Amino acid sequence: MKIKAGIIGATGYAGAELVRILLTHPQAEIAAVSSVSFEGKKLSEVYPSYASLCDMECKNQNEAVEKSDVVFAALPHGLSQELAAQCDKAGKAFIDLGADFRLESEDEYKEWYGGEFLDKDLHKRAVYGLPELFRETIQGEKIIANPGCYTTGAPLALAPAVKNGLVGTEGIIIDSKSGVTGAGRKPNQGNHYPELNEGFHAYKVANHRHTPEIEQTLSKLSGKNVKITFVPHLLPVNRGIISTCYARLNDGVTKEQIRKVYEDFYRNEFFVRLLPDGANADIHNIKYSNFCDISLHIDERTRTLVAISAIDNMVKGAAGQAIQNMNIIFGLDEKAGLLIVPPAF
């Protein structure tokens, strides 16, 4: 019997991507889709590319919860906590693609998102769903905080070096560039075509909400309190995030040692592809897939590790990772439904 999945917020970009991937999942099926903006409309009316593939009508979220074994919430922050409680009471697995359960500190959540924890016990039980780093804590759990795009690509680039003490935990700089789908489907001046096309700019410099989430992950790995400088940029492309991460090498650490640590760390991780020396991670090569490509570079003059990761922000940075988490909590092959080959051109 297939796992029944409900998607709340199915008409946003992340929700629509969940539909695209789940339609070909061998062990799961879409039981219901929900949308406040398009309730009563068929999903294929909102996204004509889904015609005859998913003509389901967008229902209210209560119906999606009732019909499903697992509920995916692709909603803006602040809208998932009550839904999580509803799913928990009904015994449903809940995977939140928003930010409501990602931060462990309520003070940080208040500072960066302006909200509070409505059910502190529920937050204590929620686990952070970055499988390559925290797989053991995800297995068998029912409330999963699915990491976002920046908070997936950058930590994966730095994790082996930070965890194994190869780099200093002070002065880490993360310079990321994202495709415009990361801003969501609702249009605004920043993602309006004439404003975006042939432009390239930084935004929320050293003040982006993903900063404490990245610090939380790196601090857990290192056992120290890590502070970073994080600067995101907006690329005039639809998909992809490339994160260039700079960290000072500790005394005596060699290029060969860095390479071996990364190879050992990711040896059994199907979705992380460690590129050979001389190669550069490129968003072109991971588009539409759940892969994270990582390239390693050493600036010998300044003793700096430059670790670069590339992911598709809508897949490994959102929907694909959510489905990877679903596979883990239901004991499926982690790759189920996610063997998506990036296009060659």
pLDDT at 251 over 90: yes
Q: Which fold has domain 150-313?
A: Dihydrodipicolinate Reductase; domain 2 (3.30.360)
Q: Which fold has domain 3-146+316-329?
A: Rossmann fold (3.40.50)
* 153 CB-near residues (< 8 Å, 6+ apart): 176, 241, 242, 243, 292, 309, 310, 311, 316, 317
> How many residues appear in the chain?
345
Instruction: Round to whole Å and give the CA distance between 119 and 8.
Output: 21
- Nearest CA to 318 out of 60, 95, 5 is that of 95
* pLDDT, tens digit (0-9, with 9 covering 90-100), for 254-307: 999 999 999 999 999 999 999 999 999 999 999 999 999 999 999 999 999 999
- Nearest CA to 34 out of 1, 70, 74, 4 is that of 74
Q: How confident is the model at residue 311 (pLDDT cuts 50, 70, 90)?
A: very high
Q: Is the pTM of this model over 0.75?
A: yes
The two structure tokens encoding residue 211: 């900063």
| Residue of 54, 58, 87, 149 with catalytic role | 149
The DSSP call for residue 167 is B
87, 245, 328 from 298: Cα distances, Å: 47, 11, 35
Domain ranges of the chain: 3-146+316-329, 150-313
For residues 44, 48, 52, 53, the Cα torsion angle rounded to the nearest 10 degrees is -80
149 has catalytic annotation: yes
Cα-only R_g, the chain = 20
- Nearest CA to 161 out of 297, 276, 48 is that of 297
Instruction: Round to whole Å and give the CA distance between 209 and 151.
Output: 10
* pLDDT, tens digit (0-9, with 9 covering 90-100), for 15-46: 999 999 999 999 999 999 999 889 999 999 99
- Nearest CA to 59 out of 43, 83, 80 is that of 43
* pLDDT, tens digit (0-9, with 9 covering 90-100), for 163-222: 999 999 999 999 999 998 877 777 777 777 787 788 899 999 999 999 999 999 999 999
Confidence at residue 15, expressed as pLDDT on a 0 to 100 scale: 96
Which strand (E) or helix (H) includes residue 138? helix 131-138
Of 229 and 180, the structure prediction assigns the larger pLDDT to: 229
Mean pLDDT, all residues of the chain:
95
